[in-house]
Amino acid sequence: MDFSLNLGVLDEGKLQKIDENKLYDVAVIGAGPAAVSSAIYAARKGLAVAMVGVKVGGQVLDTNEIENIIGTISTTGSKFAETLHNHLKEYAIAFKEGHVVKEISLDGKDKIFVTDDGKKYKTKAIILATGAKPRSLNIPGEAEYVGKGVHYCSTCDGPFYKGLDVAVIGGGNSGVEAALDMSGIAKNVTLIEFMPELKADKVLQEKLAQRENVNVILNSATTEVLGTEFVENLKYKNRATNEEKTLKLDGIFIEVGLSPSSEIVKDLVELNKVGEIVINPLNNETSVEGIFAAGDVTSIKQKQIIVAMGEGAKAALSAFDYLITKY
């Protein structure tokens, strides 16, 4: 069997330009931790690897402190992304940075993927590692005030609210982490959670309880964002009493989870009811032979950096096995 292997992949030590005329062994779609892990593991297996993504790091770039990567006591999102990029550059991977894949189709056993500039590329196997994006509330005023007081990343936009009043929507890990971040920047932070209890890890809840400028409102639904040129008020309703209140503030950070970036394959592979790509947990293969997936875009329960990296490695090794046994 002809793998079209680049036997010098481990020796060249640098990224390459993607080639429209080449049949790649594996194409990795995405540039976050799962994607980088997939690309490196595939390259280490001697495969000709193509990779397409906007920027190395993905969601990691929106993260401030990271303290749960085993072997790295503490780092920041930007530093960790730089580490990923430096490791990626050790291999002759064809990386098309600053672009996204808009379409994927089948050509016999091969796969065709089209990028946002209209270029077409061909590969024997695909690993989907497109991650996820922040989920919106879909309430009146939210879309209107995005960037004008409504935000989805406290790390990115929090510094604009120094000494001001803000709200964080969501009581999971991301919401409580955002409230903790903002408690050191804003004057007052109000955290609103839909459920009767916070869902964040115990250690995060304990830290939150120590912050004197954080007020937690439970069992309440956020109903409307109000303002003139910028956000001025937020309406919420107590789910037990139906009493509606208005909170005067300067900014809102919505942290209610992630929506998987699976649109490009919604008509190609099986998705679950929330839009995650369904994979075989043993080998990361999707419902289509030769198409694998890893990381936050998949149906795995744990959405963690270290899990995504492990899943990326597993997907690459499974793609290698597929090329050996089934291609």
Just list the catalytic residues: 153, 156-157
CB 92 within 8 A of CB 12: yes
- Phi, psi (rounded to 5 degrees) for 144: -65, -35
- Phi, psi (rounded to 5 degrees) for 203: -65, -35
- Phi, psi (rounded to 5 degrees) for 161: -115, 30
- Phi, psi (rounded to 5 degrees) for 154: -65, -35
Q: Which residues contact 138 (CB under 8 A, 6 or more apart)?
A: none
CB 133 within 8 A of CB 261: yes
What does the chain come to in residues? 327
Q: Which residues contact 189 (CB under 8 A, 6 or more apart)?
A: 165, 166, 167, 168, 179, 182, 183, 211, 213, 214, 215
Q: What is the DSSP code (8-state) at residue 98?
A: T
Q: What is the DSSP code (8-state) at residue 276?
A: P
- Measured between alpha carbons, how far is 111 from 217 in angstroms, rounded to an integer? 50
- Measured between alpha carbons, how far is 17 from 284 in angstroms, rounded to an integer? 27
